[in-house]
Structure 1
Amino acid sequence: MNFCAAPALQTSERTNADPGVKALVSNVQAHLNDAPRAVARLHTQGLLPHERMYDQSVEAEQDLDLLRDAALAWRATSDERYLALVDRLLFAWVTTYQPSFNPVDETHFDGLILAYDMTASALPVKTRNAAMTFLSKLASGYIAQIDAQPRPLTGTWRNNWQSHRIKLISMAAFTLDNRKMINAAQRLFTEHIGDNIAPDGATVDFTERDSLRYVTYDLQPLVMAALAARRHNRNWLPLSTASGASLADALNWLTPYALGTKSHDEFVHSSLPLDTQRREAGLPGYTGPWEPKNATELFYLAARLEGRYTPIALRLAPAPPAWLAVCLPFTAR
């Protein structure tokens, strides 16, 4: 496995498992007989709730989290029913979905990648081959798309969209153990750090959107990419560019806001009309002070890269999200 450690729990450990872990397994069990909700296309980017494909896409995306959780439940319990659920959902999605290469629409495919990564060796050959073909198409398509852009990269090629692209490329590359893709992932990760993160640690999206919500959207995919790299003994956290910027610098920049020693009113000076539309539509989080708890998952993920982020995560919530507690049960030292 290239991302999750996910050790199988012994009987006594299952009995005494963290409540979040028990809840994850229980939730998966409740969906054992669900039919796949695979669709040929997902689209939520730039849409408001109930607009066009938004609601249908959000409902279908739930399969991608369920795939991840079912794989984790199988790893934790060795119950073959959870593996069968992964097989059914995974085959449906990789044979139905047609990549659009819109990274905002497709960011939830990290759940599918994790599910495949944890179960590949136990899946039927038909499912495994279809999944490998799909992930190769996804990653190579994103790499080709980025490499075709003129330099220096601008717009959505240097903001949080690019973070989501790099997450998907990196996780797929390491899962497939494709050396050429892995090298491309590291090259693009390093380039993006230089494009997106200023020497003081602030991100492009903070400048453009005046929003810490979008800072987390910049950083969480990059932390996921770095965690995939770490399983291959590559340390991307301190990688810096000519400007001296690094992912660690950006996490350090966000830390005072996460701890509550600094505060920020969201989207006050955003340059994007969409943010105004969302605020006027009453969507939560688009006005008023940023809520530090929104960075909980980010800092629990970062704690798996370096232990100094653990106290920050614990200040935000007493326990990690259930999927992460099963996937990577130990923080970094």
Structure 2
Amino acid sequence: MNFCAAPALQTSERTNAASGVQVLIKSVGGQLAAQPKPLARLHTEGTLAHEGIYDASVEAEQDLGLMRDAALAWRATGDDRYLKLVDRFLLAWSTTYQPSFDPIDETHFDAMILAYDLTASALPVKTRNVAAAFIAKLGNGYVARIDNEPRPLKGTYRNNWQSHRVKLIAMAAFTLDDRKLIDAAQRLFVEQIGNNIGPDGATVDFTERDALHYVTYDLEPLVAAALAARRHNRNWLTARADNGATLALALDWLAPYALGQKTHDEFVHSSVAFDAKRREAGVAGYAGQWEPKRASQLFHLAARLSGRYAPIALHLSPTPPAWLAVCLPVEAR
């Protein structure tokens, strides 16, 4: 396991996860006969709804979350109907999708990696092998592309795009227990902390986009990467970069905004033209004051790294997303 708790929930965990399990069973139960609809390519980055293959990509991405939720439902109940769904969807996506190595388009493949991680030991050999090969191709491909970039890293190799790359690399590495990939993940995680987070905890994305939306989008994948490492007894929350920055420092920087002690008008001075395009199109969250609840999943994830983030998470939402409640039922102490 690279991320979630033990395969069979303990009695105390079953109690804590009960509501989440029921939500997942209700959500997945009506789709047990669903057939996967994999695409060879996904593309949503830099586009609006109804542009290009945006709509088709968003629809296809639902498969990734469904297989994760089915894997969690199987783990919680032992019902093989959920396992068969995961098997069907994993095989279809692993043999159809061709990685583009655009991390914004592919960030949702973390759900597919979790689905594999939760079920690998029970999958048919064919599915297990092709899924493992796909995950290895994804993780190693991202490492190769980052390592081909000149240092110091710039542009999308130090902003939120890189955080999403690091997440996918870390989750692939720990899921496959690939020592070389794990070492690369840790090296690139610390490098991203130093490149993206300043000594005061502010991120590069906040400077470029003038938006807490992108602070959250930047930190959530880094917290996910740290959770994958934590299952292997590595503490990335406080891993310190050369400039003194840590992931914890960035979460602490965001905390007063999440608690409503500070406010921020979003994207007012963004240097990215696409932000203005989305604002003009009326996309929610691209104008006006930042809504703290948008950081709910981030702090519920962070609460699994350190219990000191639990009060913030509960302030934002009394319950975590259903998948997280089942995956990691109890907050870190």
Q: Which moved more, 1:210-219 or 1:6-15?
A: 6-15
Unmatched 5+ stretches in structure 1: none
C-alpha distance in structure 1 between counterparts of 2:214 and 2:7, whole Å: 33
Q: How far has the Cα of 1:7 moved from its partner?
A: 5.0
Question: Considering only aligned residues, what root-mean-square deviation do their CA atoms show, in Å?
Answer: 1.5
Q: How far has the Cα of 1:8 moved from its partner?
A: 3.2
Equivalent residues of 1:209, 1:271 under 8 A apart: yes
- 1:46-57 residue pairs with structure 2 within 5 A? 46-57=46-57
C-alpha distance in structure 1 between counterparts of 2:146 and 2:93, whole Å: 25
Amino acid at match of 1:200: D
Q: How far has the Cα of 1:242 moved from its partner?
A: 1.6
In the superposition, relative to structure 1, how do residues 250 and 17 fare at CA in structure 2: closer, same or farther (>3 Å)?
A: closer
Task: Check if 1:230 corresponds to 2:230.
Answer: yes
Q: How far has the Cα of 1:154 moved from its partner?
A: 0.5
- 1:175-214 residue pairs with structure 2 within 5 A? 175-214=175-214
Amino acid at match of 2:71: A
Q: How far has the Cα of 1:20 moved from its partner?
A: 3.3
* Alignment-derived partner of residue 263 in structure 1: 263
C-alpha distance in structure 1 between counterparts of 2:289 and 2:175, whole Å: 39
Q: How far has the Cα of 1:12 moved from its partner?
A: 11
C-alpha distance in structure 2 between counterparts of 1:45 and 1:4, whole Å: 28
In the superposition, relative to structure 1, how do residues 235 and 14 fare at CA in structure 2: closer, same or farther (>3 Å)?
A: closer
C-alpha distance in structure 1 between counterparts of 2:209 and 2:330, whole Å: 34
Equivalenced residues, count = 333
Q: How far has the Cα of 1:10 moved from its partner?
A: 7.8
Q: How far has the Cα of 1:235 moved from its partner?
A: 0.3
SS of the aligned residue for 2:225 comes to: helix
* Alignment-derived partner of residue 35 in structure 1: 35
Unmatched 5+ stretches in structure 2: none
Equivalent residues of 1:212, 1:264 under 8 A apart: yes
C-alpha distance in structure 2 between counterparts of 1:313 and 1:228, whole Å: 20
C-alpha distance in structure 1 between counterparts of 2:31 and 2:110, whole Å: 20
Amino acid at match of 2:282: G
* Alignment-derived partner of residue 151 in structure 2: 151
* Alignment-derived partner of residue 103 in structure 1: 103
* Alignment-derived partner of residue 45 in structure 1: 45
C-alpha distance in structure 2 between counterparts of 1:261 and 1:286, whole Å: 21
C-alpha distance in structure 1 between counterparts of 2:8 and 2:117, whole Å: 15
* Alignment-derived partner of residue 313 in structure 2: 313
In the superposition, relative to structure 1, how do residues 14 and 329 fare at CA in structure 2: closer, same or farther (>3 Å)?
A: closer
Q: How far has the Cα of 1:19 moved from its partner?
A: 3.0
Q: How far has the Cα of 1:16 moved from its partner?
A: 9.2
Deviations 1:272-308 (A, max 9, x none): 1100000000000000000000000000000000000
C-alpha distance in structure 2 between counterparts of 1:267 and 1:34, whole Å: 40
SS of the aligned residue for 2:208 comes to: helix
* Alignment-derived partner of residue 3 in structure 1: 3
C-alpha distance in structure 2 between counterparts of 1:137 and 1:22, whole Å: 35
Amino acid at match of 2:157: W
Task: Check if 1:293 corresponds to 2:293.
Answer: yes
Deviations 1:62-111 (A, max 9, x none): 00000110000000000000000000000000000000000000000000
C-alpha distance in structure 1 between counterparts of 2:277 and 2:103, whole Å: 21
Amino acid at match of 1:208: E
Q: How far has the Cα of 1:202 moved from its partner?
A: 0.3
**Identity across the alignment (%):** 72
